[in-house]
Amino acid sequence: MKTKALFLAFALTTFSLAAQTPLPDTPAARQFAAWLAAFNSGDRATMLAYQQQNNPSRADRIDNTMGFREQTGGFEFKKAGESTPTKFSGIVKERNSEQFAQFTMEVEAAEPHKIIDLNLGAIPTPAEFAPAKMSQADALAALRAEMEKNAAADRFAGAAMVVKDGKPVFSAAYGLADREKKSADKVNTQFRIGSMNKMFTATSILQLVQAGKIKLTDPLGKILTDYPNQDVATKVTVHHLLTHTGGTGDIFGPEFDTHRLELKTLGDYVKLYGKRGLEFEPGSKWEYSNYGFLLLGVIVEKVSGQSYYDYVAEHVFKPAGMTSTASLSEDQVVPERSVGYTKFGGGTAWKANTDTLPYRGTSAGGGYSTVEDLSKFAAALLNHKLLDAKHTELLTTGKVETPRGGDKYAYGFFDHKVAGVRCFGHGGGAPGMNGELEICPESGYVIAVLANLDPPAAQRMAEFVGSRLPVK
């Protein structure tokens, strides 16, 4: 007990030096301070010893804990919230980024006050901690410095572009596209974009709606008349699929891992997953569904008579002027496509994400693009080259609340506030890839960031500059 008392004293001293507000003198708050000191130390042995003594159920997850520590850089305590002898909550901020989190620590009432539960959840930046708005020049200079700092620390490799009223005002790239060949990332490097393909898929569906070929209220089975599961076919509508409210589930898991390289067409996914039932009653809640967007791609194929890939190339990429965006299979050479690097699954060294990639990207995600092409896509939407004004608004206006801190989901787009400014767009993330597109009509800015490292490498840069750019 003497050792623990000394550690708690050290933790409280460390905490008091860093904290902006006093720490309540309660068992729960003292235990939080001890956890924070151990976590922030970055020392595996220190963290393991703390967990074994105070939170033994987490001790066998030490590698995950240390991976999280490396990603965040640790936390700064910012504000206390609820405080009782056995419960303490508040707000912390990642040291490596602009991300804030809400924490709640619950401990046993009796000595030694072991941890019952510790929850950390990302939240939008509280207004009181929001960074000051800057001039455009200062905000872009700050972004360049932030990218350079994170690239030097091997936390960022990728490219960024910022557009103001249709004109590029910033573009830069840092890090390596291929670590084995020592080739550098460039502004025109093609990065895998994960779920950002959902924007192209939703745009395609709304084009078919605008043309009167399908309705948002159509049930899946009216279009895909041979869909295997009749419950899904009769209850799930196009609107449900577009808003992740259909209860259609995901595609990732053991079945995907087993058949990853056999899934070569959208139809192959339907053969594998099409007999599954609903996970919940359509329309009753929001739950992100990659399979739902896979089915939207199958609808595009059925209604247009083209493959999904040919349709988006002709009706989305071509009119937008996007010449570097596609979803060619992984066995085809794409000279400017970067190699993705991941630390997911344990380990401290970056490794190629080759063993995690699907055979080919789908309507749910997995293609590749450049920051310039994403900026062109944004311009084509804003200038109504892809949809008329009515259907562009329908596409991008939020319809369903999500768990993401006030964000609403539209059709393939998140609709939310970025530092008080309404923006819409979508991100993408998977092992070795991360991207973010923010389209902000109110301020005139478009922010596109892509990275060939794990999330949130690109998301951090987009949030950093988005919170600092001027409103007008």
Tens-place pLDDT, residues 151-173: 999 999 999 999 999 999 999 99
The pLDDT score that the predictor gives to residue 350 is 95
pTM, full prediction: 0.89
- How many degrees, rounded to 5, is the angle at CA 288 between CA 283 and CA 289? 85
The pLDDT score that the predictor gives to residue 404 is 79
Residue 9 has pLDDT above 70, yes or no: no
Q: Where in the chain is the domain with CATH 3.40.710.10?
A: 137-466
Confidence class of residue 21 from pLDDT cuts 50, 70 and 90? Answer: low
What is 292-307 written as a DSSP string?
A: HHHHHHHHHHHHHSS-
Residue 267 has pLDDT above 60, yes or no: yes
Q: Nearest-CA neighbor of 146 among 470, 457, 472, 471? A: 457
Q: How far is CA 74 from the centre of its chain?
A: 20
Pairing verdict, β 341-342 and 176-178:
unpaired
Report, in angstroms and rounded to the nearest whole number, the Rg of the chain calculated over CA atoms.
24
What is 174-186 written as a DSSP string?
A: ESEEETTTTEEP-
- Asked if the 137-466 domain carries CATH number 1.10.10.10, the reply is no
Q: How far is CA 170 from CA 138, 190, 386, 445, 463, in A?
A: 12, 18, 25, 11, 15
Q: Nearest-CA neighbor of 28 among 112, 94, 123? A: 112
Cis peptide before 112 (omega within 30 of 0): yes
Which helix (H) or strand (E) is 449 found in, with range?
Answer: strand 445-451
Q: How far is CA 73 from CA 68, 96, 342, in A?
A: 8, 5, 17
The pLDDT score that the predictor gives to residue 16 is 42
Confidence class of residue 20 from pLDDT cuts 50, 70 and 90? Answer: low
The helix, strand and coil proportions of the chain, stated in percent and rounded to the nearest 5, come to 40, 25, 40
* Interacting residues of 188 by C-beta distance below 8 A, sequence separation 6+: 324, 336, 370, 372
Strand, coil or helix: what is 421?
A: strand
* Interacting residues of 211 by C-beta distance below 8 A, sequence separation 6+: none
Strand, coil or helix: what is 401?
A: strand
454-470 mean pLDDT:
95
Q: Where in the chain is the domain with CATH 3.10.450.280?
A: 2-129
Q: How far is CA 414 from CA 380, 406, 427, 431, in A?
A: 18, 10, 9, 22
Residue 2 has pLDDT above 60, yes or no: no
On whether the CB atoms of residues 54 and 107 are closer than 8 A, the answer is no
Average pLDDT, the chain: 93
Residue 184 has pLDDT above 60, yes or no: yes
What percent of the chain lies above the pLDDT cut of 90? 86
Q: Nearest-CA neighbor of 410 among 123, 192, 198, 197? A: 198
Confidence class of residue 382 from pLDDT cuts 50, 70 and 90? Answer: very high
The residue behind tokens 């987009």 is 462
Residue 63 has pLDDT above 80, yes or no: yes
The pLDDT score that the predictor gives to residue 388 is 98
The pLDDT score that the predictor gives to residue 23 is 85
The pLDDT score that the predictor gives to residue 8 is 42
Tell me how far apart the alpha carbons of residues 199 and 244 are, in angstroms, rounded to a whole number: 13
The pLDDT score that the predictor gives to residue 5 is 40
Q: How far is CA 243 from CA 80, 182, 318, 418, in A?
A: 36, 41, 26, 21
Which of 20-34, 88-102, 285-299, 315-329 shows the lowest mean pLDDT across its residues? 20-34
The pLDDT score that the predictor gives to residue 71 is 84
Who has greater pLDDT, 348 or 431? 431
235-264 mean pLDDT:
94
- Asked if the 2-129 domain carries CATH number 3.20.20.210, the reply is no
DSSP state of 460: H
